Every structure is written in structure tokens, then in C-alpha cells.
Chains A and B, each alone.
Chain A
Amino acid sequence: MAGIWLDVLDGIARTCREHGRGDLLQAVRQKRAQLLDPTLRVLVIGEPNQGKSQLINAIVNAAVCPVGDGRTTVLPTVVQHAEVAAAAVVQAAALPPGGSPGTAPASNVERIPVPVERIPAGVAGTYGRRPGGGPAYVEIGLPRALLAAGLVLVDTPGADEVGAYGGTAPVAALNRADAVLLVSDSTRELSVAELNVLLHVTRSHPNVLVVQSKTDLVPDWRAVAERNQRHLAEAGVPAALIPVSAALRLRAAAADDRALNAESGFPTLIARLHRDLAGKADVLARATVGLTARTVVEQLAAPLRAELESQQAEEQSGPMSRLHAAQREVEELRRCSVRWQNALNDEMADLLSDIEYDLRDRTRQILREVDDAFDTADPLVAWDTFQEWLARSLTEAAEANHEWLVQRCDFVARRVAGHFARYGYDVLPPWSMTVPEDLADRMPEFEQPNVDRFTVSQKVITGMKGSYGGLLMFGLALTLAGMPMINPVSIGAGALFGGKSIRDESRQLLRRRQATVKTAVQRHVDDYFVRVVKDCRDATRQVQRMLRDHFAALTDELQEAIVQSLRTAKQAADTDAAVRDQRQREIKLRMTRLAALYDQAQQLTAARPAAVPLEPRA
């Protein structure tokens, strides 16, 4: 039978080596040595003052472990077989910092014999132990049949927390024990802390017993035992409970009273220990191997599972995600380029119409002023002043308009550049547009229009023409009164008429002049407008073309970079996916192997069906 579990254990060791877990390998090797050792190492644990030492004394029927009040057991005590009763404090040399207890060579261990009467002091840690040394323990040899059969009892200092066990010395470590006895006295039920300890211990030990001590002290120990059993069942602790009374047993031994011995409950406990001892190479070993396999497989599977999970997480953050990001980037750039082109076109169209309207408005203003002026003024008077004013006004209008154009162009350029803000480029084109200096020179020559002047001869003729009618009219009328045709009255009337017609004629001429000048100015302004608008359009188009070229070049550059990164990302993602797939396959293979190993180990102990979820979570 032994061969089979040994094979499985060797298989576990091999797996540990394959996985490169030296620590586990060492633990498994230690377990192997321990299982091959025919002795049954029983670790007695429990809270302080539960009667652990007294339990050992009662088992071997000798007061070997000091029993006292308060804390008596300080050093772990190993009780084993010897031909002659003897005791020694065994202390490892102080460990070099960083060294683990398992690596200390055996030669460093120092044994200090302890006289039998000094055992209590030895166990209390006050005799034989050198201060500053390594972990120490007391070894007591005793000639007893039970011990000679291979039973080794290890008494431990009381502790009420999981973490405290095995912390004192390697000799009392849980993993070196074949069986664990948890001692809890009958004055109360198992506490939560004790149940936690049991849960912890049963995870790594197939053979755990709860010993309910001091049944002699309380009348209702049966009820306590019953409740304890219920607590154990509720907590799912597969441990048997044995109520005992060390006091009765020791008394029975002294009085050689078999009935009392039976009453103490110890025969049950010792029978159980005997059975474990006999079954160590078989039942116990198989159960231990099963548990070892479970622990090892859990420990080995955990990092693999974690790796699988982290790989899945990496898919979101690794090269694949970089690839996705690059793709998104390309898309984004495409959208961006459409956006900026549209923006540029729209802005430019708006700009043109705005500029044109502005200029039109300004010239209209000038024209209106001209009209107002020439409604009353005579173009002949102060023409030069007027011409100068007109030229200045038009130049000013053109300049203001141009300035606005420049501002608007700048605005447009910035607006379009805004679309590239997320690429972090300093993208304004290296360009400056100023108002041209020579706007005034570009103005067409404005000649004084040809206007009719009212010359003196014209005035004389017109006066003559006007006076003739008056002279004749009044002359004829007065001839009837017997007066000559030409008389002072008719001459006066003639002069009057002549003056009036001269005045009329001159006013008419002024009107005509004014109209002529207005028309001429209008034409001139129109000419000017057309020319300036043409200039503006040209400038705008030039700006548009320049901006378009600039931003198109920029877009190309960006695209180049992004596509490049896309390409690298894609390459990386491809390689990564290949590597990961390979690794995943490898992990799955290993998991399967572990599962097989686990099954093999569990088959050893068909009675322990507790399965570990091994399949990686999808």
C-alpha cells in the first residue's frame, strides 16, 4: 500500500520542482520523511490553562510535564521513548539573520542535559537555555510501552490565536505533527477562537482530535460535550471529540483502579492514538498525502489562476488596447480634417460677404455726405477742398475695411487651428498680413467733371433776351396812352425782366452743375469700390489658399505619425497575442496536470471528497 501514496507524493514533489517552487518542494520532502518515519508525532495545543501538560502526564502516567498554575509551559516539550528517563534542553544556535529555521544544519544544535528534578525550570525556560540563542525545546525521554511503540507527544505553550502556533520553535510547528490534539476544558464550550484554530488546523491535518479535559470538575460535562459536538458540526470541523479527566486517570494509576481509569475517558483516547500509530503508514499517510496534494495544488494553481486573470485584464491595457487607441486616433484625424476644411470654407465665405457689405456701407456713407453737400454748394467753389476730402474719406474707408479683413483672417486662422489643439501642435502658420500702405495711390484719378460755367457773354445775351419781352410789352401798352414805345417805364421793365431771366438761368445752371458733379462722384466711388473689393477678394482667396495648404500639410504630417504608431501597435498586438496564447495554453496544460495530480491524490482517500475548484474562471 505504501508504494502508491509514496508515488503520488513523489509526483507532487516533481510538480513542485517543475513549477520552480523550492519552498513547497522542501515542505513536501519534509512531509515524505515524516510519513516514512514510523513514529506518530502528536502535537498538543490549546488555550492556556486547559490542562495540556496534565493530559500528557495522564497519557504516559507520569508527572513528566510540569503542571502548575498560571503559565508553566514556556518551551515546547517533546516526550518520547527512552530506555532511561532523561531530559535535555535542546537549543539551536542563534540563526544568522535571514536564515530560515529549516536550513540550520543539525550540528548547530546544542543539547544541555537537565536533571530530572529541574525539568519544571527547564520547561519554564529558566534552566539550561542560553539567552540570545535560537529556538529551544525540552526533550524528555521516558521508558513507556506506549512511547516505545512510536508515539511522540509534543506539549506546547498555551496560545489562543491561530497565528501563535508553531511560532515558538520548529519542533512545535504544526506541519511536523502527524496528529493534533486540541485541549479545551469542560468548564465552558468551545470558543470562537478555538473553532477558528480548529478550522485552520484541519485544513492541513487529516487527524485532529478535540480533547475535552477536566470532566471531573463539572457535573454537566456531558451537556458541554454535546454542545461542543454540535459546534464542531456547525463549523464543519471534521474532528472527533473525546472527553477525558486527567485527574481521574492519574488517581486510577496511583490506586490501580481499572473502573476509575475507564471513567477517566483515557482508554478511548489511547486506543485512538494506537489506531493512528498503527495506521500511520496507511490510512493516515494517504489522508496526509491527499491534504498535501490539496495544499500544494492550491498553492501552485493560485499564481497560475492569477496570471490568467491578469492576462485578461492586460488585454484591456496592453498592446491590443494601444492598437485600438491608434485606430481611434486615425478615425479622429479624418473627422478633424473634414471639420477644419468645412470651417475654413464657411468662415471665408462669411468673411467675404461681411467685408463687401462693410465697404459698401462705408462708401454709401460717403456718397450720402456728398449728396448733402452738393444740394447747396456750388461745385465750382472749393472743388479742390472737396476733392481732397473725398480722397481722404475713401482711403480711410478702404483702410478700415482692410484692417478688419486682416483681423478676420487672423481670427479664421486661429479658429481652424483650434481643431488641431488636441494634437498639441503649434499650428498657426508663419504668416502676417498687414494693411497695404499704398491704398491711397491705388485710387483712380478723379478729374473734375465738365461743368457749364455761366460766362459774361452768356449773361448779356440772356439778359438781353429777357429784357426784350418786358420792353416790348410795356412799350406797346404805353403807346396806347400816347407815349413813345421806348420810354423810361418800358426800359425799367425791360431791365427788370432781363435781371430776372439772368438769375433764373444762373440757378438752372447751378442745378445742372450739381447734378453733373454728383453723378461723376458716384461713378468715381463705384469705380473705387469695385477696385477695392477686387483687392479684398484677392487677399481673402490668397489667405484661404495659404491656410488650406498649411493645414493640409499639417494633417498629412499627423496622419503619417498616427499611421506609423498604428502599424507598430498592430505588430506588437500580434506578437503579444501569440505569446499570450502560448502562455495560456501552457497554463491550462499545467492546470490540467495539477488537476490530474489532485485526482490521483484524492483517490488515495476516497472518503475525503472535498474538491478544490481548479478550473480557471473563464
Chain B
Amino acid sequence: MTVGLRLDEAVWGLLHQALELYRDDPRATGHLRHQLARLEQPLHVALAGPWRVGKSTLLNAMMGEEVAPVVGADGSGVFTWYEDGPQPRATAYSANHPPQELAMVKSATGMRVDLVGWRAGELRDIVVRWPTRALRQVTLLDTPAITGPGEHGRSPVMDRVLRDADAVLYLTRDGRGTDLRVLESGRDSAVGQAAPINTIMVLARSDETGGGKIDALLTARQLARRQQRDPRVNALSVTVVACSGLIGLAGRVLSESDFAALAQLATVPRPQLEGYLLSADRFLRSELPVPLDAEVRAGLLDRLGLFGVRLATTLVRTGCDSRAALSGELIRRSGLAELRESVNRFFVDRRDTLKSRSALAAVEALLRAEPGRGTAELLANVEQILAGAHEFRELRLLAALRDTRLGFDAEVAAEARRLVGGDGVGLAARLGVEHDAGVRRLWEAAAEAQWRWRDRAEDPLLRLAQRRGAQVVVRSCEGMLAELAEGGR
């Protein structure tokens, strides 16, 4: 969007103004320089959530390798960063020691980091560099469990997550009240209130929905859709995705031997097998009609869970006759692909906006924490950027479109959502034309949309809020036209 000053440029300028203001304060300047450097780094996406919700499993599933969790001797979690790097390396950062290389044990499907000799609470961060395509554009951040809100209604872990990460995948079992309250705690700053664009809520462990029935993943997906319509959830996250990290990871690291074992299980007639798969105990202990070692069974159960074994055997029986087919089907059903798609569409595509947003939040926090001469003006600047940046206006309009308070028809609302980037920020996605459409086609679509929405913006019969929304859409169209004109020249 080239209308007005671009958001990232405005934020860059603001950071330099803040640097000038705090030039005598080495701590503050260090902090601000860090923010400047962050603008160039890959997007930081944190996986946060309460205890045992499957953060590390989901991270492994997203990476396709078993690299998480890094757990200390006492089981306490550390903030663990997974970055792209040429060589697998793990570095420990602590409060009172210099950075230190950590020993790393590679396994067939991933690695394990040795944390021997570190006391609890000593480590601050662990940075794992791991060569993988999944980390090209995002840096993943595994976080310790979020405990319930403290006495000030804030959770220290969530505070740090919001500070260090540009975007958050918030994992919850069922989107219950306490989880929502933790998310709400991040909304007390001006930047936090601007738009809930940095959070995707993930209904994790969706394989356990309804006690692990065979249609658990489907019901979980329906639940996610229902949650998304809930205004309370909607105000806190861009979207809700149901995803079973366990099934997804199993799909990604499924080995031939696993598949062989599952295929063997699938040969047992269904009613008979169901009896064995009634409970984990039964599956492990009882005599199966097929020769399958107890260790293999335990391994399967460990990797897939009882629900996973049920699902996988059903899938094998209904036609997934190779490892690749089964693994693909498992990934598809786990919701992992959907999650990745959401991450791409809402986070990676909006990288600049999210980066600018975290820089704005950092500057705002600094200005509020250390007020002095000139901070009030800078705070006003922050608010001006928030109010003026077209990206944020689009996002606010998106939020308004999601619940029906604007009162547009469903069809018109859908078009508005598409045009302001609700379905993806690429030109083709916004204009609703096919991927490979030529510049001329794009131009026509954009110009046509612009005229239509300009009429709407000037229609005296519409309510003020609707006219304002239409103006935002018009401006988005103008921005697209400008972009096309630039590209065409």
C-alpha cells in the first residue's frame, strides 16, 4: 500500500526518534537497537498455552522433526528458539553466564539437547539452529506453560511471549474462560487494542475431542468454526484452527516399520479389533491375533495415541495402502495443513505489519515504563501511526466484518473481507481472480471494485460506519491500482 507513508517506514522513523530521545540511557538504546534489528529478522512465532496442551508436539509437527521439547532436569521449560541455520547447534543463554554451546544428540527423527549441569531457573533462553525449510520464514519459539493469571491478572510467561514474539499460536484444549483471560491480558496497551492480528487460537489435542471417538478430528474442526463465531474469541484471535499435533507429527515422521505394524493390525477384522482398541490397557496387554511385539505396540501408542491407532487402522483398511498415502492422510486429517495455511496467510504474508506492530508495542512499552521529556509526543506519534496506517485500518475493518456489527449483507461483507486482505494479501487473492491472471485482468478487477466501493462509500442511504468501511475498501483498491501501475511501468 503506497498511500501515505508506509507503515514500516513510519515505524523505522519512530524507532530512530526514540533512540534520539533515550540516547543517554544505554539500556533503553540497547533495547531499541534490538527492535531495529528484529525488523530484519524472520517472523518470530511463539507457541504458547497452558500446561500439557501439546506445545512442543505441535512445534515438532510444524517442523516435521522431533526437536522439542528441551527440558531441564527438573522438567521446567525454557524459552527455546528454533532458528534456521546451516548446522544443527544449540546455544544456552543464561542470566549470569556467557553463552554456551550445548551438547546435542541426534536421533533418527530429530535430536535431543542435553541440559545436564544447569540448575533450575538459571537458563533464560536456548537457541536451537536447525537446518530446515520450515524455518526459512519464521522462527519458532517454544514456551514454558502459561500458569493462570497472577494477582494482577497477568501471566509472566504470556507477558514475555507478547514481548518477544511477533505472532502467537495460542494453544488451548477447548478455549475455556481462563485461557481467554490470559489472552485478554495482552490487550491493555494502545498497540494491543488496535487489532487482534497476532494471535491464532489452536484447539490443540483435537484427537481427544469427545473421548477419542473416530470422528474426533472432524468434530474438533466444527468446534473451531463454532468458536470462531463466538465474539469473545473473535476479538482475541484472527482465526481458530483445530489441530492435533500428535497425529500431524505421526504423519510426518511415520516410518515404514510403523506402517507395517499398522497394516498388520488392519488385517484383524474390524469388530474384533475394536475390542482390542477399547482402551490403551487392552491394546497393550491383550493377546492380539496378529504377531505384534509389546514394544511395537507401545511405540505405536506413544506415537499415535489410542485415537491415532484407531484412525490409522481405519485409514489403512479404507485404502491408504502405502506409507506415503497414510502419512499424507494423517497430516491432512490432523489439521496441520490448515494450521500451516493459516500461519502463512495471517502471519507470514503480513510479516511487515506484524514486525511493525511488535516494534510499536516495544516503543510504547518503553515510553510508558520510562517517561521523561518528549515521551508524550512520541506516544502521540505511536497512536498516530496506529490510527493512520492503512494496514491497521484494514485489520480493524476485518475485525468489524467478522462479527456482523457493520450490517453489510453476507455477500458484500465477503467481498469487503477479500478486498482488504482477509483471504490473503496477494493481489490475486484480494481481487478474487485466479493465481496466474495477467496485469490487465488484475487492473480491470481492481478498477471495477474501486468504482463499486466508491459508490458505496458515497451512498447516503448507508450508515456512517458502513460508509467508513467502504472508504477503507476504496483505499485498499487504490493501493492495489498503485501497485499495479508501479509494476506495469
Choose from A68, A193, A218, A247 the contact partner of B278 (Cβ within 8 Å).
Answer: A247
User: What residues on A are CB-neighbors of B178 within 8 Å?
Assistant: 160-161, 193
Among B150-158, B207-215, B369-377, the stretch in contact with A = B207-215
The answer to whether B306 and A251 have CB atoms under 8 Å apart is no
The answer to whether A68 and B148 have CB atoms under 8 Å apart is no
The chain A residue sitting closest to B203, CB to CB, is A70
The answer to whether A48 and B306 have CB atoms under 8 Å apart is no
Interface residue? A526 (CB, 8 A): no
Known contacts A217-B212, A217-B307: A48-B278 contact under CB 8 Å: no
The chain A residue sitting closest to B224, CB to CB, is A70
The answer to whether A217 and B208 have CB atoms under 8 Å apart is yes
The answer to whether A215 and B211 have CB atoms under 8 Å apart is no
The chain A residue sitting closest to B222, CB to CB, is A69
Choose from B176, B210, B223, B227 the contact partner of A160 (Cβ within 8 Å).
Answer: B176
User: What residues on A are CB-neighbors of B173 within 8 Å?
Assistant: 49
Interface centre among B226, B281, B302 (most CB of A within 10 A): B281
Choose from A51, A161, A217 the contact partner of B280 (Cβ within 8 Å).
Answer: A217
The answer to whether A216 and B281 have CB atoms under 8 Å apart is yes
User: What residues on B are CB-neighbors of A137 within 8 Å?
Assistant: none
User: What residues on B are CB-neighbors of A260 within 8 Å?
Assistant: 278
Interface residue? B482 (CB, 8 A): no
User: What residues on A are CB-neighbors of B302 within 8 Å?
Assistant: 219
Q: Give the contacts of B169-199 with A (CB-CB under 8 A).
A: 173-174, 176-178
Choose from B52, B174, B306 the contact partner of A216 (Cβ within 8 Å).
Answer: B306
Q: Give the contacts of A200-227 with B (CB-CB under 8 A).
A: 214-219, 221
Q: How far is the CA of A70 from the CA of B50 in the complex (A)?
A: 18
User: What residues on B are CB-neighbors of A321 within 8 Å?
Assistant: none
User: What residues on A are CB-neighbors of B306 within 8 Å?
Assistant: 216-219
Among A17-25, A37-45, A184-192, the stretch in contact with B = A184-192
Q: Give the contacts of B133-151 with A (CB-CB under 8 A).
A: 147-148
Known contacts A191-B51, A192-B148, A219-B284: A248-B174 contact under CB 8 Å: no
* B interface with A by C-beta (< 8 Å): 50-52, 147-148, 173-174, 176-178, 205, 208-212, 219-220, 222-223, 226-227, 278-284, 298, 301-302, 305-307
Q: Give the contacts of A138-195 with B (CB-CB under 8 A).
A: 158, 160-161, 187-189, 191-193
User: What residues on B are CB-neighbors of A399 within 8 Å?
Assistant: none
Q: How far is the CA of A263 from the CA of B223 in the complex (A)?
A: 31
The chain A residue sitting closest to B306, CB to CB, is A217
User: What residues on A are CB-neighbors of B52 within 8 Å?
Assistant: 187-189
Known contacts A69-B219, A160-B176, A192-B147: A54-B211 contact under CB 8 Å: yes
Interface residue? A245 (CB, 8 A): yes
23 A–B pairs (Cβ distance < 8 Å), ordered by A: A48-B174, A49-B173, A67-B210, A69-B209, A69-B220, A70-B226, A70-B227, A160-B178, A188-B51, A188-B52, A214-B212, A216-B211, A216-B281, A217-B211, A217-B280, A217-B305, A218-B280, A218-B305, A219-B283, A219-B301, A245-B279, A260-B278, A263-B281
Q: How far is the CA of A45 from the CA of B257 in the complex (A)?
A: 44
The answer to whether A221 and B280 have CB atoms under 8 Å apart is yes
The answer to whether A47 and B281 have CB atoms under 8 Å apart is no
> In the complex, how many residues of chain A place their beta carbon closer than 8 angstroms to a beta carbon of chain B?
33
Q: How far is the CA of A517 from the CA of B269 in the complex (A)?
A: 158
Interface centre among A69, A245, A247 (most CB of B within 10 A): A69
Q: How far is the CA of A248 from the CA of B226 in the complex (A)?
A: 30
User: What residues on A are CB-neighbors of B219 within 8 Å?
Assistant: 69
User: What residues on A are CB-neighbors of B301 within 8 Å?
Assistant: 219
The chain A residue sitting closest to B302, CB to CB, is A219
Q: How far is the CA of A158 from the CA of B174 in the complex (A)?
A: 11
The answer to whether B208 and A187 have CB atoms under 8 Å apart is yes
**A161, chain B: closest CB distance, angstroms:** 7
Q: How far is the CA of A67 from the CA of B305 in the complex (A)?
A: 22
* A interface with B by C-beta (< 8 Å): 47-49, 51, 54, 67-71, 158, 160-161, 187-189, 191-193, 214-219, 221, 245-248, 251, 260, 263
**A214, chain B: closest CB distance, angstroms:** 6
User: What residues on A are CB-neighbors of B210 within 8 Å?
Assistant: 67-69
The chain B residue sitting closest to A216, CB to CB, is B279
The chain B residue sitting closest to A187, CB to CB, is B208
Q: How far is the CA of A263 from the CA of B174 in the complex (A)?
A: 29
The chain A residue sitting closest to B179, CB to CB, is A160
**A122, chain B: closest CB distance, angstroms:** 20
The answer to whether A187 and B176 have CB atoms under 8 Å apart is no
Q: How far is the CA of A160 from the CA of B278 in the complex (A)?
A: 29
User: What residues on B are CB-neighbors of A245 within 8 Å?
Assistant: 279
Q: How far is the CA of A160 from the CA of B179 in the complex (A)?
A: 10
Interface residues of A, dominant DSSP:
loop
Q: How far is the CA of A191 from the CA of B51 in the complex (A)?
A: 8
The answer to whether A70 and B174 have CB atoms under 8 Å apart is yes
Known contacts A48-B174, A216-B279; 12 additional CB pairs below 8 A are A49-B173, A69-B209, A70-B223, A70-B227, A161-B177, A192-B147, A192-B148, A193-B148, A214-B211, A219-B283, A219-B306, A221-B281
The chain A residue sitting closest to B227, CB to CB, is A70
User: What residues on B are CB-neighbors of A69 within 8 Å?
Assistant: 209-210, 219-220, 222-223
The answer to whether A49 and B279 have CB atoms under 8 Å apart is no
Q: How far is the CA of A263 from the CA of B278 in the complex (A)?
A: 11
The chain A residue sitting closest to B283, CB to CB, is A219
User: What residues on B are CB-neighbors of A54 within 8 Å?
Assistant: 211
Q: How far is the CA of A189 from the CA of B174 in the complex (A)?
A: 17
Interface centre among A215, A217, A219 (most CB of B within 10 A): A219
Q: How far is the CA of A151 from the CA of B176 in the complex (A)?
A: 31
User: What residues on B are CB-neighbors of A71 within 8 Å?
Assistant: 174
Choose from B50, B177, B227, B298 the contact partner of A219 (Cβ within 8 Å).
Answer: B298
3 residue pairs, one from A and one from B, having the closest CB atoms: A216-B279, A219-B280, A69-B219
Q: How far is the CA of A251 from the CA of B302 in the complex (A)?
A: 24
The answer to whether B279 and A215 have CB atoms under 8 Å apart is yes
User: What residues on A are CB-neighbors of B50 within 8 Å?
Assistant: 191
Choose from B51, B223, B278, B307 the contact partner of A248 (Cβ within 8 Å).
Answer: B278
The answer to whether A160 and B211 have CB atoms under 8 Å apart is no
**B329, chain A: closest CB distance, angstroms:** 22
**B55, chain A: closest CB distance, angstroms:** 13
Known contacts A188-B52, A247-B211: A219-B174 contact under CB 8 Å: no
**A99, chain B: closest CB distance, angstroms:** 28
Choose from B176, B305, B307 the contact partner of A48 (Cβ within 8 Å).
Answer: B176
The chain B residue sitting closest to A222, CB to CB, is B281
Q: How far is the CA of A187 from the CA of B305 in the complex (A)?
A: 11
The chain A residue sitting closest to B53, CB to CB, is A188
User: What residues on A are CB-neighbors of B281 within 8 Å?
Assistant: 215-216, 219, 221, 263
User: What residues on A are CB-neighbors of B174 within 8 Å?
Assistant: 48-49, 70-71
User: What residues on A are CB-neighbors of B278 within 8 Å?
Assistant: 216, 247-248, 251, 260
Q: How far is the CA of A67 from the CA of B23 in the complex (A)?
A: 62
**A33, chain B: closest CB distance, angstroms:** 34
Q: How far is the CA of A51 from the CA of B223 in the complex (A)?
A: 17
**A189, chain B: closest CB distance, angstroms:** 8
Choose from A70, A187, A193, A247 the contact partner of B279 (Cβ within 8 Å).
Answer: A247
**B240, chain A: closest CB distance, angstroms:** 12
User: What residues on B are CB-neighbors of A189 within 8 Å?
Assistant: 52
User: What residues on B are CB-neighbors of A263 within 8 Å?
Assistant: 279, 281-282
**A167, chain B: closest CB distance, angstroms:** 13
User: What residues on A are CB-neighbors of B222 within 8 Å?
Assistant: 69
The chain B residue sitting closest to A221, CB to CB, is B280
**A170, chain B: closest CB distance, angstroms:** 22
User: What residues on B are CB-neighbors of A218 within 8 Å?
Assistant: 280, 305-306
Q: How far is the CA of A48 from the CA of B305 in the complex (A)?
A: 22
Q: How far is the CA of A47 from the CA of B302 in the complex (A)?
A: 26
**B250, chain A: closest CB distance, angstroms:** 15
**A186, chain B: closest CB distance, angstroms:** 9
**B112, chain A: closest CB distance, angstroms:** 20
User: What residues on A are CB-neighbors of B177 within 8 Å?
Assistant: 160-161
User: What residues on B are CB-neighbors of A188 within 8 Å?
Assistant: 51-52
Q: How far is the CA of A71 from the CA of B233 in the complex (A)?
A: 14
Q: How far is the CA of A217 from the CA of B208 in the complex (A)?
A: 8
